[in-house]
Structure 1
Amino acid sequence: MTTTPELSSITVEGGPGTITPGPRSVNAVVVGEDGLARPAWAAVDPMLREYYDTEWGMPVRDEQGIYERISLEAFQAGLSWATILRKRPAFRRAFAEFHPETVAAYTEADVERLLGDAGIVRNKLKVRAAITNAKATIALRGDGGLVNFVWSFQPAATPAPLSLGDIPTRSPESVALSKALRKKGFAFVGPTTMYALMEAIGILDTHLLDSHRRSSSGVWPHT
């Protein structure tokens, strides 16, 4: 699911969503055998490389997609993004492909079922937050919907990082989005997690300037 993890410590916050790492590498990009330049965190692990090349930073403009990513970003808190990405198929099975109506109707029996599912992150607060956020997502339909709500916090400019150390972990917009979502009843939507979300779904472009993915989303002009 930015903040970009160093090879030895892939701890992306938010994730799918941001990639917020632990220690940051000072390296700019690594050129792969295919001749394409990527940040170090996406240059070795095939799973992370595929995610970086095809999904991270591409626009997500459907309710179910954004709800899923908010949920996964919450589950990632305190863990590595690689862990969440490997468990993503299990998360989708456990949460009915993140269909908001289905998850919003989950009962205490479902909570216990989820806490017994070794395929996902078994954290009661995070499980309950996913259910809470499904209900909040449905409620937002009367106020323009989750997609319009989240994308309304797109800033006027996006970072232009030359190295991972140039990438922020929060912004005034992510702070504002966090506060606004909390007022709408969402949980586990802190400013850093929301910055990761904004990176993951294309609201921001924090690809390094030398990366082959820079300006590939169509949201931001080439820089």
Structure 2
Amino acid sequence: MRKQQVVTSSHVQRCPWAEKNLLLRQYHDEEWGVPNYDERYIFEMLSLEGAQAGLSWITILSKRDAYRAAFHDFDIQRCAEMNNDELERIITDYGIVKNRKKVYSVRQNALAVIQIQKEYGSFSSYLWDYTDNHIIKGDWEKESSIPDKNDISEKISRDLKKRGFVFVGPVIIYSFLQAIGIINDHVIDCCFNRLI
């Protein structure tokens, strides 16, 4: 189950990237960096981070409801069972990024997640095992110091690619690990740095 942080004031100190608009603020305050173990949510974030490749995160966040509608709220089994006709309809009928490879990657990655679940019990366990279930805390003084990848994102990226995943380069995986809370890169001055 997702653990949400609650900060209602707009006058709190946040990571600078989150101050650009309300959608980014909500994502930052309620999800980003919060440790998560929910299979559906983790698969959603993997899919959305892959969709972001070459684009801005706000572009994907603004289309998130359309992605959820198109991909059965990121139910892993249902995504794995989608046929080509369904995927083609998603490209034409939903307000998502119209990139065929990215759309088809959701099915391919769902199939690969199912194999990991069979081997490890859950996709969450597979991922959190890389840090022995510990959060990697950055404690960065400024946003520009935050790396775009690290050793763990590179290891996970290599292994996922071997297992047939796509859109899982080390930079995408680093962002993904931030999204699901394995990495906490809230800057030191951000009030959320101390909450996790």
Q: Please say whether Structure 1 and Structure 2 have the same fold, judged by a TM-score greater than 0.5.
A: yes
CA distance in 2, matches of 1:160, 1:55: 18
C-alpha separation in 1, matches of 2:180 and 2:110? 18
- Name the residue aligned to 1:22: none
* Aligned partner letter, 2:159: A
Cα distance change on mapping 1:215 and 1:120 into 2, 3 Å: same
Equivalent pairs counted in the alignment come to 186
Give structure 2 stretches of 5+ with no counterpart. Answer: 1-8
Deviation at 1:140, TM superposition (A): 1.2
Q: Does residue 126 of structure 1 match 2:99?
A: no
Q: Deviations over 1:138-172 (max 9, x none)?
A: 11122112111111222785321100111010000
Residue from 103, 107, 126 that aligns with 2:83: 107
What CA distance in whole angstroms lies between the structure 1 residues aligned with 2:142 and 2:16? 10
**Equivalent in the alignment of 1:48:** 24
Give yes or no for contact 1:42–1:48 (8 Å, CA) kept in 2.
yes
Q: For residues 192 and 170 of structure 1, what CA distance do their matches in structure 2 show?
A: 5
Is the 8 Å Cα contact of residues 140 and 185 (structure 2) preserved in structure 1?
yes
The question of 1:207 aligning with 2:183 is answered no
Q: Distance in 2 between matches of 1:178 and 1:185?
A: 11
Report the CA distance shift for 1:151/1:116 in structure 2 as closer, same or farther (over 3 A).
same
When residues 167 and 186 of structure 1 are mapped into structure 2, their CA distance, relative to the original with a 3 A threshold, is same
Q: What TM-score, normalized to structure 2?
A: 0.89
Q: Which runs of 5+ in 1 are unaligned?
A: 1-32, 218-223
- Give CA deviations for 1:95-137 in whole Å, capped at 9, x if unaligned: 0000011111111101210110341111111111110011111
Give 1:34 shift.
Answer: 4.2
Output the amino acid matched with 1:201: I
Q: Which letter maps to 2:153?
A: S
* Counterpart in the other structure of 1:29: none
> What RMSD, in angstroms, separates the aligned Cα atoms of the two structures?
1.7
Identity of aligned residues (%): 37
Indicate if the aligned counterparts of 2:136 and 2:182 stay in contact, CA closer than 8 A. Answer: no
Counterparts of 2:49 and 2:135, CA distance in 1: 24
Partners of 1:42 and 1:89 lie apart in 2 by: 20
Distance 2:136 2:21 in 1: 31
Which letter does structure 2 place at the counterpart of 1:150?
L
Preserved contact between residue 205 and residue 215 of structure 1 (Cα < 8 Å): no
Q: CA deviation at 1:71?
A: 0.3
Q: Distance in 2 between matches of 1:132 and 1:117?
A: 20
Is residue 176 from structure 1 mapped to residue 155 from structure 2 by the alignment? yes
1:182 alignment partner, SS class: helix
Report if aligned partners of 1:63, 1:146 keep a CA contact under 8 Å in 2.
Answer: yes
Offset of residue 47 of structure 1: 1.1
Residues 55-85 of structure 1, C-alpha deviations (whole Å, 9 max, x = no match): 1111110111111110000000011100100
> Partner letter of residue 92 of structure 1?
R
In terms of fraction of residues, the more helix-rich structure is: 2
Out of 63, 66, 89, which is 2:65 matched to? 89
